[in-house]
Amino acid sequence: MTLSLQIKDYHRLVDQLACVVRPGGLIDLCEYDFQTYDIEGNVIEVENSDSPPSWAKWLFHLRTAFGHQGGDIYAARDLLYWLERNSAFVDIVYKEFFLPVVPVPRTADTTDLDVTIEEGQMENCLVG
């Protein structure tokens, strides 16, 4: 589970991390945005769809529930901004990863790593 669902003032957590990490230290933050994306990287909308995929619908309801409990459901989107605005953080590296939860079409660009990640994701979804 990501921290964003448990932390109400995530931006303050980032500021607190700046106070406790020694100069030259390293923090590694990873958050999930609880959205489902299509093969082109577009968000699959749930509210405006007659029949959204089950995974997208489940994540929508999960995101809504945690939002009502005060979790920061936008932390994944805002994390880079919070780090950049704090002068204590330097050499920030930001990367986005899209992990498949269903088999994706194989192309000439598909790597062994892509297949391994996809298989692991499928196993996680099925075994839980």
Q: Are residues 18 and 66 in the same domain?
A: yes
What pLDDT, on a 0 to 100 scale, did the predictor assign at position 127?
53
Q: Are residues 10 and 23 in the same domain?
A: yes
Cα gap 22→19, rounded to integer Å = 8
Q: Are residues 78 and 15 in the same domain?
A: yes
**Average pLDDT of every residue of the chain:** 84
Token representation of residue 83:
């780090």
pLDDT above 90 for 20: yes
Q: Are residues 10 and 59 in the same domain?
A: yes
Burial status of residue 90 (CB atoms within 10 A of its CB: 0-12, 13-18, 19 or more):
exposed
The sign of the CA dihedral 29, 32, 33, 36 is positive
What pLDDT, on a 0 to 100 scale, did the predictor assign at position 128?
46
Containing domain of residue 116, as a range? 102-128
Q: Are residues 73 and 107 in the same domain?
A: no
50-82: per-residue pLDDT in tens? Answer: 888 888 888 888 888 888 888 888 888 999 999
pTM over 0.85: no
Q: Are residues 39 and 88 in the same domain?
A: yes
